Structure 1
Amino acid sequence: MYRHILVTTDGTDIDHAAVHHAAALTRALGARLTLLHIIPDAHRELGSGNDLSVTAEDIEQEWTRVGERALEEGLLDADGTRLTPLQRPARGRDVPHAILEEAGELGADLIVMATHGREGLAHLLLGSVADRVVHDAPVPVLLVRQGTPSRT
């Protein structure tokens, strides 16, 4: 069914359930698992003309460190399932499209992502990387809400 599963991480606590689910699927299906962290493009995210005392490069370095910790945690969350950890810069792309492009280059046939499950005004104002991936993905996307138990 699925031969290559891609699970994303952004370094937040909600990612743990998604990695557990992806690892369980990987084991059940005998698939490959890739854990992906995208380093947002700070220039794109902040726009020009910000008055911050830190530079976009400083911010990207911090996001890189966050990603490295997230990948380390993902290795633990995978419960011994072999996976390939990858960290890629967005390089002028928004995060959802960077995820989709990486998934295409890797040949992933399923994307697993965590979601906050926000509704109403919070969802409308904050938007959702997961929603944008689901909308544009050419492959199935499995969304896992925080605290969802995986069945292995």
Structure 2
Amino acid sequence: MYQHIVVTTDGTDIDHAAVRHAAGLSRALNATLTLLHIIPDAHRELSSGTDLSVTAEQTERDWALQGEAALHDGELDAGDLRLVTVQRPALGLDVPHAILREAAALDADLIVMATHGRTGLAHLILGSVAERVVHGAGVPVLLVHQAPTPCRRPQATGPGPGC
């Protein structure tokens, strides 16, 4: 079914579930698994009309170091599975388009990503990298949502708003 799975990581806590899920799929399907981190283009991300060249370069170095840590964490999440780790700069693209570029270059036939599952105003303001990848991808995209913390509301309260 799938021969090459690419799972993205940006170093956030929600990535762990996606990497573990992708690793399980990779094992079950005997597929190649690539863990991908994109270093955002700081000039593009931080642009405010001022000269940010020094700040942007340092920011990109910091993001690269965070990416190395994320890739290392992803290796731990994958367990004993051998995987390929790739870190690439966005090179003038936004992160979703850079993910799509790299997935195509790697000849991936499935992209796995974590999603925050934001809705409403938070989604409107922050947007969704995952949503933009889904709409631009020529291959299936599997979104993994971190399991919510269970509600600990006492039974005696009866019906009411959820947690």
Shorter-chain TM band: over 0.9
**1:59-138 aligned within 5 A:** 59-138=59-138
Q: Report the AA paired with residue 91 of structure 2.
A: R
TM score, norm. by length of structure 1: 0.93
Task: Provide the rounded CA distance (Å) in 2 between the counterparts of 1:74 and 1:144.
Answer: 15
Look up the match of 1:44.
Answer: 44
TM score, norm. by length of structure 2: 0.87
Look up the match of 2:139.
Answer: 139
Superposition CA RMSD, Å: 1.5
Look up the match of 1:20.
Answer: 20
Q: Which runs of 5+ in 1 are unaligned?
A: none
Q: Give the C-alpha shift of residue 147 in structure 1.
A: 2.7
Q: Which runs of 5+ in 2 are unaligned?
A: 149-163
Q: Give the C-alpha shift of residue 112 in structure 1.
A: 0.1
Q: Give the C-alpha shift of residue 81 in structure 1.
A: 1.0
Task: Provide the rounded CA distance (Å) in 2 between the counterparts of 1:58 and 1:111.
Answer: 30
Task: Provide the rounded CA distance (Å) in 1 between the counterparts of 2:124 and 2:146.
Answer: 19
Q: For residue 143 of structure 1, give the secondary structure of its aligned residue in structure 2.
A: strand
Q: What are the superposed Cα offsets for residues 30-62 of structure 1, whole Å, 9 maximum, x if unpaired?
A: 00000000000000111142477x610010000
Look up the match of 2:160.
Answer: none
Q: Report the AA paired with residue 143 of structure 2.
A: L
Look up the match of 2:157.
Answer: none
Displacement over 2 Å in runs of 4+ = 48-52
Quick one: higher RCO (CA 8 Å, sep 6+), 1 or 2? 1
Q: Report the AA paired with residue 26 of structure 2.
A: T
Task: Provide the rounded CA distance (Å) in 1 between the counterparts of 2:80 and 2:114.
Answer: 20
Q: 2:7 aligned with 1:3, yes or no? A: no
Q: How many residues align?
A: 148
- Percent identity, aligned pairs only? 73
Q: Give the C-alpha shift of residue 79 in structure 1.
A: 1.6
Q: Give the C-alpha shift of residue 136 in structure 1.
A: 0.6
